C-alpha cells in the first residue's frame, strides 16, 4: 500500500491540479446534457401521452430506439458520422457533440420516467379535474404535472449520477474531460494504475453528493405514501 502511494510522489501536485480543471469540464458537460435531456424528455413525454396517435407513435419509436442502443453509438454517430453525411454545418466541437449525444440519449430515458410519473397518478385525479370543467391541458398543468413532478424527482436524481459517469465515455470522442486527462496522464507517466485510481477518486467525490441526494429523495417519496 505504501509502495503504491510512493508512486504518486513526483506527480501528485500536477495531477491533482490538471484533473481538477478537467473535472470542471466534466461537470459542465454533465449539467448541459442534463438540462437538454430534461427539457427534451419532457417534450417527448407529453407527445407520447398525447391523443394524436401519430405523435404518440413516433415518440414511441424514438424512445424505443434510444433506450435500446448504447450511448456510445450515439456519440460516435454525432461526432464521426454526421459530418460525413454532408451535414458539414454541424462540424461541431467534440464538446457540443457530447452534449447533444448524452442529452438526446438521456431524453429517451427521462421521457419514460416522466410518462410513467404522469400515468402513475391516480386516474381519479384527472376525472375530478375534468368533471370540475377543466380542459385536459388545464388539468395537466394544475393537477397532474405538479403531482408528477414529485414522483419523478428520485429517478431524475439517479439519472444525474449515471450521466456523470457517462461523461467518461466522451473521452473516446476527445472531449477534454476528466477521463481523457487521466488517459493522457497515464500514458505520459507510464503509471496507469495511479492515474486511473486518482481519477476514480475525483469521480467519487463528484458523485457522492448526488448519490446521497438521490437516496434522500427516494426515502422522502417512500414516506409520503
Partner 1 sequence: MEFFDKLWEWAPEVFPFLIKASVVTLQVTAGSLALALVLGIFVAVARISSFKLLSYPALIYTDVMRGTPALVQLFIIYFGLSDLGLEFDPISAAIIGLGLNGAAYVGEIYRAGIVAIHRGQIEAALSLGMTPVRAMRYIILPQAVRIVLPPLTNYAILLVKDTAIVSTIAAPEVMFEARRIVQATFMHSVSGQIYLMAALIYMAITLPMSYVAKRLERAKAAWH
Partner 2 sequence: MEALVRIIDLHKNFGSLEVLKGISIEVTKGEKLTIIGPSGSGKTTLLRCVNYLEKPTSGHVYVDDKLIGEKKVNGRYVHLSDRELAKERAGIGFVFQRFNLFPHLTALDNVTVAPRQVLGMQVAEADEMAMEMLEKVGLAHKAGEYPERLSGGQQQRVAIARVLGMQPKLMLFDEATSALDPELIGEVLKVMRELAEEGRTMMIVTHEIQFAEEVSDRVIFMDEGRVIEEGPPKEIFSKPRHERTQTFLHQILER
Answer for which of 132, 193, 205, 219 binds partner 2 (CB under 8 A) is 132
Answer for which of 6, 150, 165, 220 binds partner 1 (CB under 8 A) is 165
Taking CB within 5 to 8 Å according to partner kind, which of partner 2, partner 1, none is near residue 189? none
The contact mask relative to partner 1 for 178-197 (x = CB under 8 A, - = no) is: -x--xx--x---xxxx--xx
Residues 125-164 binding partner 1 (CB under 8 A) are 161, 164
Answer for which of 124, 190, 222, 223 binds partner 2 (CB under 8 A) is 124
The alpha helices in the chain, defined as continuous H runs, are: 2-6, 12-48, 53-67, 71-76, 82-84, 94-119, 123-131, 136-139, 145-166, 178-189, 192-223
Taking CB within 5 to 8 Å according to partner kind, which of partner 2, partner 1, none is near residue 73? partner 1
Taking CB within 5 to 8 Å according to partner kind, which of partner 2, partner 1, none is near residue 76? partner 1
- The reply on whether position 223 binds partner 2 by CB under 8 A is no
Minimum distance of partner 2 from residue 225's CB (angstroms): 10
SS3 102: helix
Which backbone phi and psi does 213 adopt, to 5 degrees?
-60, -45
Which backbone phi and psi does 152 adopt, to 5 degrees?
-85, -10
- The reply on whether position 68 binds partner 2 by CB under 8 A is no
- With beta carbons less than 8 A apart as the criterion, state whether 25 and 155 touch: no
Which backbone phi and psi does 8 adopt, to 5 degrees?
-80, -10
Q: Give the integer Cα–Cα distance in Å for 72 and 29.
A: 15
Burial of 207 (0-12, 13-18, 19+ CB in 10 A): middle
The contact mask relative to partner 2 for 141-160 (x = CB under 8 A, - = no) is: -xx--xx--x----------
Tell me which long-range contacts 143-148 makes (C-beta under 8 A, separation of at least 24).
144/118, 145/118, 147/121, 148/114, 148/117, 148/118, 148/120, 148/121
- The reply on whether position 57 binds partner 1 by CB under 8 A is no
Binding site for partner 1 (CB under 8 A): 64-65, 67-73, 76-77, 80-82, 84-85, 161, 164-169, 171-172, 179, 182-183, 186, 190-193, 196-197, 199-200, 203-204, 207-208, 211
Binding site for partner 2 (CB under 8 A): 51, 122, 124-125, 127-138, 142-143, 146-147, 150
Amino acid at each position: 500500500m505504501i509502495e503504491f502511494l510512493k508512486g504518486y510522489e513526483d506527480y501528485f501536485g500536477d495531477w491533482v491540479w490538471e484533473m481538477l480543471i478537467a473535472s470542471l469540464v466534466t461537470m459542465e458537460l454533465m449539467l448541459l446534457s442534463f438540462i437538454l435531456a430534461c427539457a427534451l424528455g419532457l417534450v417527448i413525454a407529453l407527445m407520447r401521452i398525447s391523443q394524436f396517435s401519430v405523435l404518440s407513435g413516433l415518440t414511441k419509436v424514438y424512445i424505443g430506439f434510444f433506450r435500446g442502443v448504447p450511448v456510445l453509438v450515439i456519440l460516435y454517430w454525432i461526432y464521426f458520422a454526421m459530418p460525413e453525411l454532408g451535414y458539414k454545418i454541424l462540424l461541431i466541437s467534440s464538446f457540443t457533440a457530447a452534449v447533444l449525444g448524452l442529452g438526446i440519449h438521456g431524453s429517451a430515458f427521462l421521457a419514460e420516467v416522466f410518462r410513467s410519473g404522469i400515468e402513475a397518478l391516480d386516474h381519479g385525479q384527472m376525472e375530478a379535474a375534468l368533471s370540475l370543467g377543466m380542459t385536459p391541458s388545464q388539468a395537466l398543468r394544475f393537477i397532474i404535472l405538479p403531482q408528477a413532478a414529485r414522483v419523478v424527482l428520485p429517478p431524475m436524481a439517479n439519472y444525474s449520477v449515471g450521466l456523470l459517469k457517462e461523461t467518461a465515455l466522451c473521452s473516446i470522442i476527445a472531449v477534454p474531460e476528466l477521463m481523457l486527462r487521466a488517459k493522457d496522464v497515464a500514458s505520459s507517466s507510464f503509471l496507469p494504475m495511479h492515474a486511473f485510481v486518482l481519477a476514480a477518486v475525483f469521480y467519487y467525490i463528484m458523485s457522492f453528493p448526488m448519490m446521497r441526494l438521490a437516496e434522500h429523495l427516494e426515502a422522502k417519496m417512500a414516506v409520503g405514501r
